[in-house]
Chains A and B, each alone.
Chain A
C-alpha cells in the first residue's frame, strides 16, 4: 500500500468520524429522551446509555390521561389552522407585494419584517389585552391568532421572494387567457409554488406545534391546552415528584409527527429554500 492510498483512507476515516461526532451531538438529547421514556420509573435515575430492561408503562400512563389526548387534539387543530391561514394570507399578500406595483411596497415589506423582530415577551401583555378584548381568552382561536401574527412575516417574505421569481409573462399569458387575479393565483401560481409553500408551511407548523409561552399565558383549563403546556404541567404521584418518565414519553409522542412530516417534505424543503438562488 503506498502513501497516497493511506492518505486517502485516513481522509475517509476522518470524514466519517466527523460525521459521527455531529450525529451524536445532534441526536443524543433526543436519543436520551427516548431511552428515558422507556425505562421503568425505578431505574430512572441510573445513568446508562443502553437499555437494560424496558417497558411501555410511561406511554400507557400518558395515554390514560384524557387531558393529554385532548391537548394533542388542540395542538393539531391549532397548528393546522395556523398553517392554513398563514399560507392563504401569505399567498395572497405575496401576490400583492410581488406582482402589483404600488407606492410604499418596500415600506410594507419592512414593516412586516419588523413585526417579527420583537421578542415574544415584549408583545405578550399587549397581545393579552387584544385577546381579552376579542373574547378569545382560554380558547384555541386565541392561540391561532397569536401564532399567525408571528408566522406570517416569514411566510410572506419567502413567498414574495418566490413570487417575484415567476416570470411576468406567465401572468400576462393568464390575463390574455381571461384569468382574474384569483384564477391566476390558484390555477397558475399555486402549482408552481408548492416547494415554497411546503417549506413555509412546515416551518409554521413546527413553530405552532412547539410554542409554549403564549400557550401557557392564553389558556387556563386542561381542555384548552396544547401539548407543550400539557407536558410541562404533567404532575407526578406527589407534589415533590417530577414525573420524568411520562414527560419524556409525551415529548417523544409529539415529536414523532414532526419528524415524519420533515422526512416526507425534506426534498421539497431543500428545493424551496434554494429556489430563487439559481434560475431554472
Chain B
C-alpha cells in the first residue's frame, strides 16, 4: 500500500508535449480513475507511473521514495493491460507465478501467493489451463491475478474492460470494485468511459490535452464541474449548452439573457465580468422542465426517445446551436412536433465564461 505523488510531471515525445505540468496526489488505498477523450495523455500518465516510459521532467514519488529512475520491478507496481497480454505458452498458474519466480521467491511462498490470489479471483479450477482455453472474462481475471500475485503496492489498470462485451463489462466492473474493497490497495485506472469512471472511482482525474482539467469525487464532478469540458464529458446524455450574455452581475448573483429563454437570474457571482460579456449556460437534461410555450420561449420537439424507464425529448435548437435534450421519467406526455417552452432549474444551472471556466457560486449561496 502506498500513496503516489506527481509533481510537475512532463513528458515529451520528440516534438509532442504529451503531459504538461501534471500535479496530483493519490492517497493510500484510493481508487483513482484517469478519464478523458483519446489522445488526452491518460495512458501515457499511467505508463509514466508504471515505469514503462521515462519522465522528461518532474518528480514522481511512490510512498516516500523518488522513483523517477527506478525500473518497474523496483517500484512495487502491478499492471493490467488492455489486451491482457497473458503469456500464451504458460498455464494460468505459471502466468501468475512468473513474476514471483523472477523475484527469486522460494517455491512454497510462490505456491501460497498464487493459490491465495487464485482464490480471491475464483481461478482455482482454471490453474492448469492455457490462456487460449479461457473466456474473455477469465482472461481478464488472470491478467489481474498476475498483477496482484507479487503483492504490489499499487495496481494499475489500462482500459482493462474495453475488450469485453457490454454485459461482461458491467460484471467485471463490479468485481473490480469488490476487489478494491477487499484488498484496500491503491488502484489507478484508465478509461475513456465516463460511466466506468463514475461508478468505480473515489477520485476522478479528468485529463484533456495533457493537463488536468479537474480532480474530484464523482459527485463533485457531476454537481460542480470546474470547466465546460468536464461538464460536457461527465454525465449521459451530455449537458445542454446554450450561448448567453451577461445582463448584470454582482458578487451576490447575476442575470443573463439566453436566446429563447429570456432573462434568467442565477446565483453565480459575476462581479469580475463585464456586462454583455458572452457566457455559456449549461443545463443537464434532467434539470429542465417543459411547459406550454410562452412568447419567445418556444421550441419545437424534434424527436422523442422512449427508453422504458425514462424518456429523452430532443428539442429543435435556435439557429446555429446544438440539439437540446430533456430527460424525464416515463411515461411522457410529449410528442414529436409539439411546441414547448423551457424552464431551467435555477439551482442546477451552470455558467461558463469564454475560456470555459465555470463561474463560482456567490458566497452567500455557497454558505447556505
Query: Could you list which residues of chain A lie within 8 angstroms of chain B, going by C-beta atoms?
Result: 167, 169-170, 172-179, 183, 187-188, 191-192
Q: A173-B87, A177-B98 are in contact. List 15 more A-B contacts (CB 8 A).
A: A169-B81, A172-B79, A172-B81, A173-B85, A173-B146, A174-B98, A175-B71, A176-B72, A176-B73, A176-B78, A177-B102, A178-B99, A178-B103, A191-B89, A192-B89
- CB neighbours (8 Å) of A176 from chain B are 50, 52, 72-73, 77-79, 99, 147
How far is B89's CA from A174's CA once the two chains are assembled, in angstroms? 13
Of B73, B89, B147, the contact of A178 (CB 8 Å cutoff): B73
How far is B50's CA from A169's CA once the two chains are assembled, in angstroms? 13
CB–CB B77/A179 < 8 A: no
How far is B88's CA from A191's CA once the two chains are assembled, in angstroms? 9
Closest residue of chain A to B50, judged by CB?
A: A176
Any chain A CB within 8 A of the CB of B83?
yes
Tell me the B294-329 residues at the A interface (CB within 8 Å).
none
- CB neighbours (8 Å) of A170 from chain B are 85, 87
Any chain A CB within 8 A of the CB of B61?
no
> Per-residue 0/1 for B19-41: is the Cβ within 8 Å of any A Cβ (1 yes, 0 no)?
00000000000000000000000
CB–CB A173/B81 < 8 A: yes
How far is B1's CA from A191's CA once the two chains are assembled, in angstroms? 35
- 30 A-B residue pairs with CB within 8 Å: A167-B83, A169-B81, A169-B82, A169-B85, A170-B85, A170-B87, A172-B81, A172-B85, A173-B85, A173-B86, A173-B146, A174-B87, A175-B71, A175-B72, A175-B73, A176-B50, A176-B73, A176-B77, A176-B79, A177-B98, A177-B102, A177-B146, A177-B150, A178-B99, A178-B102, A178-B103, A178-B150, A183-B102, A187-B98, A188-B87
- CB neighbours (8 Å) of A178 from chain B are 72-73, 99, 102-103, 150
- CB neighbours (8 Å) of B52 from chain A are 172, 175-176
- CB neighbours (8 Å) of A187 from chain B are 98
- CB neighbours (8 Å) of B86 from chain A are 173
How far is B87's CA from A170's CA once the two chains are assembled, in angstroms? 7
* Chain A contact surface mostly: helix
- Interface size, B (range): 20 to 34
CB–CB A179/B146 < 8 A: no
- CB neighbours (8 Å) of B150 from chain A are 177-178
Closest residue of chain B to A179, judged by CB?
A: B102
Query: Smallest distance from the beta carbon of A173 to chain B beta carbons, Å?
Result: 4
- CB neighbours (8 Å) of A172 from chain B are 52, 79, 81, 85
How far is B150's CA from A175's CA once the two chains are assembled, in angstroms? 13
> Per-residue 0/1 for B81-119: is the Cβ within 8 Å of any A Cβ (1 yes, 0 no)?
111011111000000001100110000000000000000
How far is B83's CA from A170's CA once the two chains are assembled, in angstroms? 9
How far is B54's CA from A175's CA once the two chains are assembled, in angstroms? 14
How far is B150's CA from A173's CA once the two chains are assembled, in angstroms? 13
How far is B83's CA from A169's CA once the two chains are assembled, in angstroms? 7
- CB neighbours (8 Å) of B50 from chain A are 176
Query: Smallest distance from the beta carbon of B6 to chain A beta carbons, Å?
Result: 19
Top 6 A-B pairs ranked by shortest CB distance? A178-B73, A177-B99, A169-B85, A173-B85, A191-B89, A169-B81
How far is B150's CA from A192's CA once the two chains are assembled, in angstroms? 24
- CB neighbours (8 Å) of A169 from chain B are 81-83, 85
Closest residue of chain A to B152, judged by CB?
A: A176
How far is B79's CA from A260's CA once the two chains are assembled, in angstroms? 46
Closest residue of chain B to A191, judged by CB?
A: B89
How far is B150's CA from A176's CA once the two chains are assembled, in angstroms? 10
How far is B85's CA from A175's CA once the two chains are assembled, in angstroms? 12
How far is B82's CA from A167's CA once the two chains are assembled, in angstroms? 12
Query: Smallest distance from the beta carbon of B135 to chain A beta carbons, Å?
Result: 17
Looking at A169, A173, A177, A187, which has the most chain B CB atoms within 10 Å of its CB? A177
Query: Smallest distance from the beta carbon of A271 to chain B beta carbons, Å?
Result: 14
Query: Smallest distance from the beta carbon of B61 to chain A beta carbons, Å?
Result: 19
- CB neighbours (8 Å) of B82 from chain A are 169
Closest residue of chain B to A170, judged by CB?
A: B85
Query: Smallest distance from the beta carbon of A279 to chain B beta carbons, Å?
Result: 12
- CB neighbours (8 Å) of A175 from chain B are 52, 71-73
How far is B152's CA from A280's CA once the two chains are assembled, in angstroms? 32
Closest residue of chain B to A180, judged by CB?
A: B102
- CB neighbours (8 Å) of B88 from chain A are 192
How far is B78's CA from A178's CA once the two chains are assembled, in angstroms? 10
Query: Smallest distance from the beta carbon of A49 to chain B beta carbons, Å?
Result: 50
How far is B146's CA from A179's CA once the two chains are assembled, in angstroms? 14
Query: Smallest distance from the beta carbon of A251 to chain B beta carbons, Å?
Result: 40
Query: Smallest distance from the beta carbon of B109 to chain A beta carbons, Å?
Result: 15
Query: Smallest distance from the beta carbon of A136 to chain B beta carbons, Å?
Result: 39
How far is B101's CA from A183's CA once the two chains are assembled, in angstroms? 12
- CB neighbours (8 Å) of A192 from chain B are 88-89
- CB neighbours (8 Å) of B77 from chain A are 176
How far is B77's CA from A176's CA once the two chains are assembled, in angstroms? 8
How far is B96's CA from A176's CA once the two chains are assembled, in angstroms? 12
- CB neighbours (8 Å) of A188 from chain B are 87
Query: Smallest distance from the beta carbon of B161 to chain A beta carbons, Å?
Result: 16
Query: Smallest distance from the beta carbon of B144 to chain A beta carbons, Å?
Result: 12
Closest residue of chain A to B82, judged by CB?
A: A169
How far is B71's CA from A183's CA once the two chains are assembled, in angstroms? 15
